[in-house]
């Protein structure tokens, strides 16, 4: 299978905001866009996006997972970035329409159709470094995908970074391109210096998240993960897994974890740690690297609770378990 996110459906849904109103959405070719070189997004990074998936069930039906939650987050990101307000119904229709159009291309599990709604400031003005873009473009691009991590389900090596941060503290909950650009340097360095797969950003010792996933610690029947604040992305997979864990009778603790506590708990034989996200689903962390030293998390393998939670989530997404929280939208 081609690398994650490199194959696209030939058309996408697109709408533009001009003269204080949204255009009707339309299908356009997905291999080109026309934008002025002075477009606000190119210079001042006024852009945000979402990542969600549509799954094929055994009955042949196609279902979009937690579309409403992703739309809410896109609306929130747009607000924080001072982009024009998105109409909830219009973006929902755009997502459903484009997925419907390419329904027959949705891969069988474990593959899926990755859906990438994107909203960007397009005003042609390089004088607006400190001003919002008055025009914008919204599109929904589709990419059929398999596994996100090249290593498949192998336990990850994660470098703990206590000095740097992924992005500015007030921007963590915004799914914006600039945040990813800001994390690229530290991640590239960690790959070279420690052969790490990911960096776990823990500014001042506060365990936050990695470059593209949330972090959860599993200790027996307990799941511990940072409580929601502005500093990190409020993952919809995180929310799903915490809900599933509660349904299974596990104790969910949303609170701060220090790196010292993480290291202490990770050293216990049954400890597990994992990264959660739409792309990562739930991927086990086998090794933590702190100040050049390596520490196994529990057995160093992907743990049984991680496997159980991942399967429970996949079963809902794939239509093998009841969707009792109403997370699926049929197209
Ligand atoms: C920085 C970051 N944190 C967390 C997540 C997880 O969010 P979600 O579960 O909504 O995909 C993502 C996206 O996958 C991300 O890019």
- Strand 156-161 and strand 198-201: the pairing is parallel
pLDDT at position 150 is: 60
Cβ partners under 8 Å of residue 169, min gap 6: 203, 230, 231
Mean pLDDT of the chain: 96
* 237-248 pLDDT, tens digit each: 999 999 999 999
Centroid of ligand 1 to alpha carbon of 291 (angstroms): 26
Query: Measured from the CB, is residue 70 less than 6 Å from ligand 1?
Result: no
* 122-181 pLDDT, tens digit each: 999 999 999 999 999 999 999 999 877 666 678 999 999 999 999 999 999 999 999 999
SS3 323: coil
User: Rounded to whole angstroms, what are the CA distances from 150 to 111, 133, 139, 154, 318?
Assistant: 14, 37, 28, 9, 22
pLDDT at position 153 is: 75
Higher pLDDT, 46 or 150: 46
Per-residue pLDDT for 1 more than 80?
A: no
- Residue of 182, 185, 212 whose CA lies nearest to 198: 212
Quote the pTM value.
0.96
Mean pLDDT value of segment 66-95: 98
Centroid of ligand 1 to alpha carbon of 114 (angstroms): 13
Query: Measured from the CB, is residue 50 less than 6 Å from ligand 1?
Result: no
pLDDT at position 149 is: 61
Write out the two tokens for 316: 């809902």
Q: Which atom of ligand 1 is nearest to the CA of 52?
A: 11
Centroid of ligand 1 to alpha carbon of 18 (angstroms): 30
Mean pLDDT value of segment 95-112: 97
Write out the two tokens for 264: 């202490």
Centroid of ligand 1 to alpha carbon of 28 (angstroms): 28
Q: What's the CA gap between 175 and 85, in Å, rounded?
A: 16
pLDDT at position 151 is: 60
Mean pLDDT value of segment 316-322: 98
Mean pLDDT value of segment 264-280: 96
Centroid of ligand 1 to alpha carbon of 277 (angstroms): 5
Closest C-alpha residue for ligand 1 atom 5: 213
Query: Measured from the CB, is residue 233 less than 6 Å from ligand 1?
Result: yes
Query: Measured from the CB, is residue 186 less than 6 Å from ligand 1?
Result: no
Task: State yes or no: cis peptide before 110, omega within 30 of 0.
Answer: yes
Query: Measured from the CB, is residue 236 less than 6 Å from ligand 1?
Result: yes
Per-residue pLDDT for 195 more than 80?
A: yes
Query: Measured from the CB, is residue 173 less than 6 Å from ligand 1?
Result: no
Mean pLDDT value of segment 269-283: 95
pLDDT at position 138 is: 98
Per-residue pLDDT for 313 more than 70?
A: yes
């Amino acid at each position: 299978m081609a690398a994650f996110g490199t194959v696209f459906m030939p058309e996408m849904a697109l709408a533009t905001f001009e003269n204080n109103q949204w255009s009707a959405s339309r299908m356009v070719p997905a291999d080109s866009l026309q934008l002025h070189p002075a477009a606000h997004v190119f210079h001042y990074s006024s852009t945000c996006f979402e990542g969600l998936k549509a799954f094929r069930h055994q009955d042949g039906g196609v279902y979009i997972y937690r579309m409403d939650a992703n739309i809410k987050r896109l609306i929130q990101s747009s607000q924080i970035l001072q982009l024009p307000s998105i109409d909830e119904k219009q973006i929902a229709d755009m997502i459903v329409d484009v997925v419907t159009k390419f329904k027959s291309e949705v891969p069988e599990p474990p593959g899926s159709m990755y859906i990438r709604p994107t909203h960007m400031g397009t005003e042609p003005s390089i004088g607006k470094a400190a001003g919002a873009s008055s025009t914008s473009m919204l599109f929904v691009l589709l990419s059929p995908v398999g596994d996100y991590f090249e290593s498949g389900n192998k336990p990850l090596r994660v470098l703990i970074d206590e000095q740097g941060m992924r992005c500015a503290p007030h921007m963590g909950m915004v799914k914006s391109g600039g945040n990813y650009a800001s994390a690229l340097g530290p991640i590239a360095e960690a790959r070279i210096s420690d052969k790490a797969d990911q960096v776990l950003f823990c500014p001042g010792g506060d365990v936050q998240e990695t470059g593209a996933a949330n972090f959860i610690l599993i200790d027996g029947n307990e799941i511990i993960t940072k409580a929601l604040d502005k500093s990190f992305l409020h993952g919809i997979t995180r929310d799903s897994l915490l809900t599933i864990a509660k349904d299974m009778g596990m104790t969910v603790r949303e609170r701060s974890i220090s790196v010292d506590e993480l290291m202490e708990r990770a050293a216990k034989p049954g400890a597990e740690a994992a990264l959660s996200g739409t792309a990562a689903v739930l991927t086990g962390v086998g090794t933590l690297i702190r100040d050049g030293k390596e520490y196994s998390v529990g057995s160093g393998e992907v743990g049984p609770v991680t496997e159980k939670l991942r399967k429970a989530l996949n079963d809902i997404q794939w239509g093998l378990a009841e969707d009792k929280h109403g997370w699926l939208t049929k197209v």
